[in-house]
Amino acid sequence: LVGTDRTLQPETRALAAVQAPLRLSQTKDAQGETVPGGITVRSERAFTGTDDLALQWSLTEGARTLAKGTRALAVPPGAETRLQLPAPPANPKDADRQLTVRAVQKTRTDWAPAGHTVAVEQFDVGGHQLAGVVKAQAPGAVRAVTTGDRVTATGDGFSYTFDRKSG
């Protein structure tokens, strides 16, 4: 889990997720469709609830945070609850967005400081256009002209000539 240079290996994230005491997922309706802003929290704790934890969430578009918040998290041992976060703002540019949800320690404990992440998940919540990336323009027409043993293909901003025998 820790390299010889004391850096964490990528598997550390997977191990933390497997051993997390909570499972965070997007809520689905009766038809199996994702409920916008709906989060399902399932506790795998056997003896204690989640009163010692808070739920932090943030909605991002690239590096920009559009909305964030914190709310109480009260799930009995072995139980599941559904939470409704605020509806995301309109997305007229079809920008790629992620919702990150974390369960964090409310207060310091013997094993972790306040704010320590106990469980985390990130969900794609709409949009297809990556921030900072411009959509490609539709390609223009390509024209091919054969002159003897040569073929020349031209279009907007390019011209390639090929020999018909040798390529």
Stretches in the chain below the pLDDT threshold 70:
131-135
Dist. CA 15–CA 11, nearest whole Å: 6
pLDDT in the model for residue 133: 65
pLDDT tens per residue, range 74-105: 999 999 999 999 988 888 888 899 999 999 99
SS3 content of the chain, % helix, strand, coil (to 5): 5, 45, 50
pLDDT in the model for residue 2: 86
